[in-house]
Amino acid sequence: MQDPPDAARLLTAMADTLEQRVLGELAGSAQHQARVVANLCRVLAREHELDPALDAAARQGLADLLAADDQLATDELTTDGLWRACAEHIDELDEVATHRVLTEIVRGKVAVAKPEYLRPDDQPEAP
């Protein structure tokens, strides 16, 4: 027995079907709506594939920024808590490191939402 396809493969198959088989049969507003749904399927597929690794990288980057201050216990903070701590201590963070971490976080978000906006060497790798 084979394992069923994961959500990313199912979403990609849905997008392919909409684009390759359904769009040609539609016109006007319905064609646009099908194109939007196909794009949303592709975004969700990328999100399913990339988000766990991107979230882990963001958590690590934010924790590393805060690590310079030994008084901050980052192990117990959620990702939202790390964001809040960085915002509260922004004046104390290393500017170059902060720029690097935030650039990587944004690059990951763009890779999910609009990967064609990134250069090929900017693409984050799937886990």
Residue 26, CA distances (Å) to 2, 36, 69 in order: 35, 13, 59
pLDDT, residue 77, reads 83
Residue 120 is predicted with a pLDDT of 76
What is the rounded average pLDDT for all residues in the chain?
90
| pLDDT tens sequence across 37-89 | 999 999 999 999 999 999 999 999 999 998 866 556 667 788 899 999 999 99
- Banded model confidence at residue 125, pLDDT cuts 50, 70, 90: low
Position 126 pLDDT exceeds 90: no
Domain range list for the chain: 7-122
**Separation CA 84–CA 36 (nearest Å):** 34
For residue 9, what pLDDT is reported?
96
- In the structure encoding, which two tokens stand for residue 112, read together? 């999910």
pLDDT value, residue 127: 47
